[in-house]
Amino acid sequence: MNVRGEVTEVGEVRSVSTQYGERDVLDVTVREDASFHEVSLWGKWTESAEYLSPGMELVVTDAEEREYAGETEYATGKESYVVVEPEFLVNVTDIREFVQCPRQYYLSKLQALPLKYAVTKGTIVHEVFGDLLRGRDLDDAIDERVREAGLELGLLDKEFAEVREDVRQNASAIEGWLNQGLLTEEDEWRSEYTLVSDTFGIKGRCDAIRRGMPVELKTGKNTNRDPRFHDKIQAACYALLLSERGVPADTGTLLYTKNAAMARNEASGDLSPAKEFSIGKGLLEFVVRTRNHLAALEWSETTPTGYEANAKCEYCFEQDACMVVSGRLGQESKAGQIGRKLPEAEREYFDDLYDAIEAERREVHREYAKLWKQSPDERADDDRAIVGLEPDSREELPDGRWRLTAKRPSAATSKIREGDRVLANDGDPVHGTAEMARVERLDADEVVVSTDEPVELRRLDVYPSDLNVSRMLSALHDFVLKSEERRRDVLFGREDPRFESGTETFIDNNDAQNAAVNRALNAEDFALVHGPPGTGKTYTIARIVRELVERGERVLLSAFTNRAVDNALDAIESQGFEDVVRVGTESGVREDMQTYRLSKSGDPREQAEKLESADVVAATTATCGSRILRSQEFDVALVDEASQLTEPDTLAAANRAERFVLVGDHQQLPPVVRSGGRLSESLFERLIEQYPDAGVMLDQQYRMSQRIQAFSSTEFYDGQLRPATGEVAGQSLADIGVTGVPEGVRFEHVEGTDAAHTDAREAERVTELVEAYLDAGVEPGEVGVIAPFRAQVTEIGRRVPDGVAVDTVDRFQGSSKEVIVVSFVASDDMESPIFEDYRRLNVALSRAKKAMVLVGDADALRTDDTYRRMVEWASL
Ligand SMILES: Nc1ncnc2c1ncn2[C@@H]1O[C@H](COP(=O)(O)OP(=O)(O)OP(=O)(O)O)[C@@H](O)[C@H]1O
């Protein structure tokens, strides 16, 4: 049986004589639910004494059980593994690096892979390998895969023909091996296999499985008889995960594709590309112990020094980088330190944000653990999965991928959207078969996804990825260790931001907007544009971009969401400016902006030229951290929705440019982070508080009637917000031909219940109100309903007619409607916060143009000061 629980006590390692001689043993107490277990860890498992501490989670698999003095005791047996913090899912590639050197693992985490030919080529060769296994023609596969990497190759100054030849040499080795008769008809192949283990706390994607055994591809050479040790480790990880699924994988194969590509006379060693080795329990235990060590370092937030493993720094090609990082950040490292130590403030800042980012990563892992901790129904209720699918058809596509279709008996709500990358699976995403998939279509009664390999499509799961977390870390690294001193002086408050003087007229009907454009153009370091709801942020951004380009500057235009990036492009386009390149995935970019989208695939030179010559490049901040955009430099980075971005996310864009302009509103939604803490404050908010003079607030709004905007203006903008024109102020439903229904703002009292997150009675009332507006002639697309909880959104969604948008505040930010109904989910007290914080309330109350109805329990709402003022205002 497996023992799994929280460590409450760790003993001392003792040596005892047993029938096998002297052996070490470590006693640990583990709490599993309400009971405490004494567990003895024997032999090498005692190593964990060095890092095991109370509070950690521990698993002992196949523990031996015995009764002693009326108590059940457990001990590790021959088959056992001991796993520390299994919920922290360590990537197989990280274990491999950690074995090479823990410090290298740390550095890779910080620095992110740059654009490098070896990396791009490696990816292409892996893809061609998968294609060959799927039975594709070698030449076709090479042609297509090289083309697909066209943009990266072009930026690396590579020609199509040259890369083709290079890849061919590597791929021929594989093909030769596949054809060597080594493989018989019985060979069962499967390429790219996603494996996750909730017991061992490991996840990864194996290059291929042959007869149930792992095969790993390496695009390097190795003339020794044996595979390299760290390569073996990687294959052993997969073997461990496979054996957990009942496949006793005792052999691993490493394919070194460069081996056959070398001239025969070059080396005297073993030139066969494939090297097999046997995988014994000892190696698997080593893998688990290494993984434990890594997880424990992460748990205790300790920076590796390199001493943990017996790393040989003098042979390491990362030695210099390692010494610089440790020198500047004042870290202990086996390689030693060079470089000047950064000022204390910067080191503290680095440490604080590093910890915050890693805390966020742990939250992502916790989210991941819900894949097995929650039942399918719980996941569906939580909107994290679409369950109960019935596999319908599967079709192999010309490129060897698969299109899978399934029927969807119930169209429950979920976070999954078309274009998302999800985990498609047979009903059990962890122990069954699961494949990464792209959602092609999501209808009420059918789903269509595409995958590399077919699966029985019974369920789709949200796939929590820590890619964004990794990108935050490299943005932090780039800022602290690579940015200009001047930038750090300003952002760390040692110098004030500077502005050139001079004012010109760019916008003649709005003074604040004009001041904002001037501030942005005059900024030598950065400028801030504070834009409350509907004040023309996008309009102002478009004007700034156009003017910068006219002055010969290269601009990076970025925002948190694809939607905001596309909106800004739209505004730029409507100013008659079209020299723009949009970087993003096909599914992320809006249909009418596809013409600006730069495809990653194509002729290397042409694609690179398009990017490098573009005056304006537009992408989300997440994409700003990609290999492609990290190869580009700009004069100015202009970031919209900056108040919704974490500081490192904003830096990802700012790092790419000499100056930056942030546009946002810290009185609306803050950054969305799971862990809270330091990441919930945006750089925008920090800077506007530190340097109010660097910002300009847009004070005229083009959206709400006078009556609607009043509360938001007094509560959140010191009463400074005002309607831009008389028409905006005095607008009424009559302007759109609707009469006989209430305008302005109204409060509807509904008696509260003690139900926490839904209220059916209130949903009924909301529906009646919506119907009254529709009956009076308001188009469904012009009516919106906002509720604080998803459960209430579902409750209302199933009642109101199609076409009426019903959603949470987060989904409404940035949009507006003629009529808005806000459901406060009447409850009889204010125990659970309604809109989490007042900023969400501000967003909810500033979406309507002409009519807004607030529905809730007035007595309960009145117990909070802000809500009391709101009820009074709405009941006027
Ligand atoms: N100076 C201006 N003169 C005329 N119309 C303007 C001006 N500035 C903005 N507008 C108009 O006001 C409307 C709102 O502007 P915009 O979409 O730029 O606002 P926003 O602040 O980005 O909105 P949100 O709060 O939703 O992000 C648009 O229709 C825009 O054309």
The secondary structure of 677-726 as a DSSP string is GGGGS-HHHHHHHH-GGGEEE--EESSS-HHHHHHHHHHHSTT--EESSH
Secondary structure tally for the chain: helices H, strands E: 29, 34
Q: In this structure, what token pair is assigned to residue 60?
A: 């002992």
Tell me, in angstroms, the distance from the centre of ligand 1 to residue 710's CA: 19
Q: Whose CA is nearest to atom 9 of ligand 1?
A: 536
Angstrom distance (rounded) from CA 556 to CA 540: 16
Tell me, in angstroms, the distance from the centre of ligand 1 to residue 540's CA: 8
Q: Check residue 674 and give its pLDDT.
A: 87
Q: What are the distances in angstroms from CA 450 to CA 383, 436, 530, 550? A: 21, 9, 42, 44
Angstrom distance (rounded) from CA 291 to CA 294: 5
Tell me, in angstroms, the distance from the centre of ligand 1 to residue 607's CA: 34
Give Cβ neighbours of residue 595 (< 8 Å, ≥ 6 apart). none
Signed CA dihedral, 60, 100, 361, 493: sign only:
positive
Strand, helix or coil for residue 396 = strand
Q: Is the ipTM, as predicted for this complex, more than 0.85?
A: yes
Q: Strands 35-42, 71-75: parallel, antiparallel or unpaired by DSSP?
A: parallel
Angstrom distance (rounded) from CA 640 to CA 630: 19
What DSSP state is assigned to residue 88? S
Residue 422 · residue 181 · CB < 8 Å: no
Q: In this structure, what token pair is assigned to residue 468?
A: 């964004």
Angstrom distance (rounded) from CA 598 to CA 585: 9
Beta strands in 486-596 (DSSP E): 526-530, 555-559, 580-582
Ligand 1 atom closest to the Cα of residue 538 is: 18
Ligand 1 atom closest to the Cα of residue 541 is: 18
Q: In this structure, what token pair is assigned to residue 574?
A: 């409507």
* Amino acid (1-letter code) at residue 261: A
Ligand 1 atom closest to the Cα of residue 846 is: 25
Q: What are the distances in angstroms from CA 767 to CA 790, 807, 855? A: 16, 14, 11
Beta bridge partners of 855: 748, 823
Residue 10 · residue 49 · CB < 8 Å: yes
Q: What are the distances in angstroms from CA 857 to CA 73, 708, 743, 826, 828? A: 56, 20, 21, 5, 7
Ligand 1 atom closest to the Cα of residue 815 is: 26
Residue 26 · residue 46 · CB < 8 Å: yes
Q: What are the distances in angstroms from CA 419 to CA 292, 557, 570, 588? A: 36, 23, 21, 7
Q: List the chain residues with pLDDT less than 70.
A: 180-187, 260-271, 399, 411-413, 754-758, 826, 828-834
Residue the block writes with tokens 């909070």:
864
Tell me, in angstroms, the distance from the centre of ligand 1 to residue 724's CA: 10
Ligand 1 atom closest to the Cα of residue 532 is: 25
Structural element, H or E, at residue 638: strand 634-640
Q: Check residue 112 and give its pLDDT.
A: 82
**Closest by Cα among 146, 139, 140, 172 to 160:** 146
Strand, helix or coil for residue 232 = helix
Angstrom distance (rounded) from CA 774 to CA 646: 40
Cα Rg of the chain (Å, integer): 30
Q: What are the distances in angstroms from CA 803 to CA 770, 774, 786, 790? A: 11, 11, 14, 18
Classify the phi-psi angles of 453: left when phi > 0, otherwise alpha if psi is within -120 to 50, otherwise beta: beta
Residue the block writes with tokens 């801030």:
528
Residues in the chain: 876
Q: Check residue 268 and give its pLDDT.
A: 47
Residue 386 · residue 408 · CB < 8 Å: yes
Q: List own/partner pairs for 576-582 with CB under 8 A and 24 or more apart.
A: 577/542, 577/545, 577/546, 577/549, 577/616, 579/549, 579/614, 579/615, 579/616, 580/614, 580/615, 580/616, 580/617, 580/618, 581/610, 581/611, 581/614, 581/616, 581/617, 581/618, 582/617, 582/618, 582/619
Q: Whose CA is nearest to atom 15 of ligand 1?
A: 536
Tell me, in angstroms, the distance from the centre of ligand 1 to residue 571's CA: 9
Angstrom distance (rounded) from CA 766 to CA 852: 12
Residue the block writes with tokens 């047996």:
77
Angstrom distance (rounded) from CA 76 to CA 80: 5
Q: What are phi and psi of 277, to 5 degrees?
A: -150, 155
Q: Check residue 825 and give its pLDDT.
A: 83
* DSSP characters over 299-340: HTTPPP-STTTT--GGG-TTHHHHHHHHHHHT---TT---SP
Tell me, in angstroms, the distance from the centre of ligand 1 to residue 815's CA: 11
Tell me, in angstroms, the distance from the centre of ligand 1 to residue 720's CA: 17
What DSSP state is assigned to residue 482? I
Residue 747 · residue 858 · CB < 8 Å: yes
Ligand 1 atom closest to the Cα of residue 510 is: 1
Q: In this structure, what token pair is assigned to residue 342?
A: 């950064």
What DSSP state is assigned to residue 736? G
Q: Whose CA is nearest to atom 23 of ligand 1?
A: 534
Q: Ligand 1: residues within 6 Å at CB? A: 507, 509-510, 513, 531, 533-539, 702, 814
Centroid of chain to Cα 589: 17
What DSSP state is assigned to residue 741? S
Q: Check residue 463 and give its pLDDT.
A: 85
Tell me, in angstroms, the distance from the centre of ligand 1 to residue 612's CA: 31
Q: Check residue 432 and give its pLDDT.
A: 85
**Closest by Cα among 820, 851, 847, 818 to 743:** 851
- Interior angle at CA 611, CA 607 and CA 612, nearest 5: 110
Tell me, in angstroms, the distance from the centre of ligand 1 to residue 671's CA: 23
Q: Check residue 795 and give its pLDDT.
A: 86
633 burial level (CB within 10 Å; 0-12, 13-18, 19+): exposed
If one residue of 538, 544, 640 were mutated to test the ligand 1 pocket, choosing by the most ligand atoms within 8 A of its CB, it would be 538
Signed CA dihedral, 856, 860, 866, 868: sign only:
positive
Q: Check residue 431 and give its pLDDT.
A: 82
Residue 203 · residue 164 · CB < 8 Å: no
Tell me, in angstroms, the distance from the centre of ligand 1 to residue 869's CA: 28
Residue 844 · residue 816 · CB < 8 Å: no
* Amino acid (1-letter code) at residue 355: D
In this prediction the pTM is: 0.90
If one residue of 508, 560, 643, 702 were mutated to test the ligand 1 pocket, choosing by the most ligand atoms within 8 A of its CB, it would be 702
* Amino acid (1-letter code) at residue 437: A
* Amino acid (1-letter code) at residue 594: Q
Ligand 1 atom closest to the Cα of residue 509 is: 1
What DSSP state is assigned to residue 753? B
Angstrom distance (rounded) from CA 310 to CA 526: 46
Tell me, in angstroms, the distance from the centre of ligand 1 to residue 700's CA: 9
If one residue of 539, 712, 725 were mutated to test the ligand 1 pocket, choosing by the most ligand atoms within 8 A of its CB, it would be 539
Signed CA dihedral, 327, 328, 332, 334: sign only:
negative
